[in-house]
Structure 1
Amino acid sequence: MRVIREQSVTAFADLVLPWLLRDPVRNNVAAQQVQGRVDGTMPTEDGALWLLIEDAGHLASIALRTPPNALLLTAAVPEAITALTDWCLENEPRLPGVNGPIAESDAFAQQWGERTGAAVELVMGNRMFRLDRVIHPQGVRGQARLATADDRELLVSWATAFHHEATPQWPMLDYELLIDRKLGGDHLWVWVDGEPVSMLWTNPAISGVVRLSGVFTPPEHRGHGYAGGCVAAVSQHELDTRAFACSLYTDLANPTSNKIYQSLGYEPVMDARQWGFTYAD
């Protein structure tokens, strides 16, 4: 096994997207990270890592890092994880963490802690879900609509609140920029019951799979099924217009959201973990 760092994200995309899109559901996040930087919908950060893991000249796995985020892994055999750990120890000895499928992320985190002395802490456990057919909830007041520029200020505040509530351990994003991009691409939705009461955003379709994220209802509007109604309506829209499947991630520590999404027709696909690394010096 050997690890090769590709300097150009465009060249990296040409090499890895066919491999990733053999399973566009499980590899949706990695494929989105690559494609978004090729087409300019996401910025290419200084110091980004685009890593190929080859076995006898054949692509065995890939990994990537978009600072300040953790290293993102894809499915890999143990030998590939060891080769990746070796490369990172030599070239990126202060990684902030690792994220990916449980077997791969756990193996990397264990090796990293043993070989660097870094403290290894579980940041979050996630479950990926897939939906092929929507089960619509009954009795939810209101309807979904695309967000508009008039909603911008409210949705920036909601997106920031979503970060503090759902992912406080992750690096803070520029939510004004994110909301502007989602508005410009018709990827931002609100559920309206007299006024906006819930939101979510979608990501561009990757090989017929659309991933939903940012599902948020402010506390004063909870308990009415708005989030479930919004997820169901937007999922149906995506299936009707551009996707053969939808996906989303949940926090395994939040049993309520896991239960809600399954009631809408989302089915578990795989679990993932993110580990954080802290160094003594």
Structure 2
Amino acid sequence: MSAKTTNNAEEFIEAAGAHVRSDPVGNSILLTMMEGMRKSGGKGPTAYWTWAVDEAESGGGTAGACVCVPPNLAILSGMEAGAAAACAASLHESGAPVAGVLGPTRAAEAFVEEWTRATGSTAVAGRTEHILRLDTALPSLPGQTPAGHARPAKEGELEPLTDFFLEAAAGSGISREEARRSAQRQIASGHLLVWDDGEVAAVVGRTPASDGVVRITPMHTVPERRGRGYARALFAETLEQGRAEGASTFVLFTEAENTAAQSLFRSFGFRSHGTTVEYRFE
């Protein structure tokens, strides 16, 4: 097993794009990053694109892929332990400043083992999240629509919405600047919705569709406004808009301990699609 790291997104897409697209739900974060970099023409922060090759396969098939955009975590596709270790070794040899890793359990643990061996660093376990997916038609849900309406977020709301992003991602280690950039991108694209009943009560974001898959992120309700149906109504509107734009599948990540959110998502028909884990290096 060997791996290669490049700063050229197009080279990565040519070599590993088919592998990433083979599981657009499990690889939704990596797919979104890949498509975003392609659309930007390679402009933006330096990214380290890595893919593993299994020489035992005829033609040397791609066995795994990951991308790291410092200071963010390295994002892994689903892959066997040997491929994940090869990706870690290649990233280390490239000099990439990897702060941590996020991916399926087996791949993430193998990456951590190789990275800590090569660097002498230690790994601290972070969040464990369930991947949920929805492929069916949207259900007709009972209940009254709360006061107010859904609307796109506005540029002037960037700072309070950044606070919402940070609260929704509590425990992930995301910086304010990272959260601000994410909110700004989604506001600019029209993919960040808020529920407005005179003031912002809830927020739900999503990505553009990539290979027919839309990822929901983030979702947050102002604590003192919870229990009034804002999140459910806004979530339903987000799904409807995604369907209207051609999405056939929705995916989201939810913390294993967040049973309330899981109950809401499952009421819409979301089902399990695996688990992802996070480690940070010290």
* Secondary structure of the structure 2 residue equivalent to 1:38: helix
* Secondary structure of the structure 2 residue equivalent to 1:173: helix
Offset of 1:175 from its aligned partner?
4.6
Question: 2: CA distance between counterparts of 1:41 and 1:6?
Answer: 15
**2:99 counterpart of 1:100:** no
**2:126 counterpart of 1:127:** no
Distance 1:269 1:192, change over 3 A: same
Offset of 1:263 from its aligned partner?
1.5
CA contact (8 A) 2:70 2:99 kept: no
Identify unmatched segments of 5+ residues in structure 1.
none
- Alignment map for 1:45-64 (pairs within 5 Å): 45-46=45-46, 48-56=47-55, 57-64=60-67
Offset of 1:193 from its aligned partner?
3.1
Q: Return the letter of the residue paired with 1:40.
A: S
CA contact (8 A) 1:158 1:216 kept: no
Question: 1: CA distance between counterparts of 2:223 and 2:41?
Answer: 31
CA contact (8 A) 2:30 2:75 kept: yes
* Secondary structure of the structure 2 residue equivalent to 1:118: coil
- Alignment map for 1:82-93 (pairs within 5 Å): 82-92=85-95
User: Among 151, 162, 165, which residue is 2:165 paired with?
Assistant: 162
Match of 1:248 in 2: 252
User: Among 116, 139, 143, which residue is 2:144 paired with?
Assistant: 139
- Alignment map for 1:41-80 (pairs within 5 Å): 44-46=44-46, 48-56=47-55, 57-80=60-83
Distance 1:115 1:5, change over 3 A: closer
Match of 1:10 in 2: 10
Offset of 1:194 from its aligned partner?
4.3
Q: Return the letter of the residue paired with 1:55.
A: D
* Secondary structure of the structure 1 residue equivalent to 2:237: helix
Question: 1: CA distance between counterparts of 2:34 and 2:145?
Answer: 37
User: Among 181, 187, 190, which residue is 1:186 paired with?
Assistant: 190
Give the ranges of 4+ consecutive aligned residues of structure 1 lying more than 6 Å apart after TM superposition. none
Match of 2:24 in 1: 24
**2:260 counterpart of 1:261:** no
Tell me the TM-score normalised to structure 1 length: 0.88
Question: 1: CA distance between counterparts of 2:150 and 2:77?
Answer: 34
User: Among 196, 200, 205, which residue is 1:196 paired with?
Assistant: 200
CA contact (8 A) 1:3 1:51 kept: yes
Match of 1:276 in 2: 280
CA contact (8 A) 1:137 1:228 kept: no
- Please provide the CA RMSD for this pair: 2.4
Q: Return the letter of the residue paired with 1:73.
A: L
Identify unmatched segments of 5+ residues in structure 2.
none
- Alignment map for 1:226-245 (pairs within 5 Å): 226-245=230-249
Tell me the TM-score normalised to structure 2 length: 0.87
Percent of pairs with identical residues: 24
Offset of 1:139 from its aligned partner?
2.5
Instruction: Say which is worse superposed, 186-195 or 100-109, in terms of deviation.
Output: 186-195
CA contact (8 A) 1:208 1:243 kept: yes
Offset of 1:43 from its aligned partner?
5.6
* Secondary structure of the structure 2 residue equivalent to 1:207: coil
Distance 1:94 1:196, change over 3 A: closer
Distance 1:137 1:2, change over 3 A: farther
Distance 1:42 1:186, change over 3 A: farther
Question: 2: CA distance between counterparts of 1:255 and 1:38?
Answer: 36
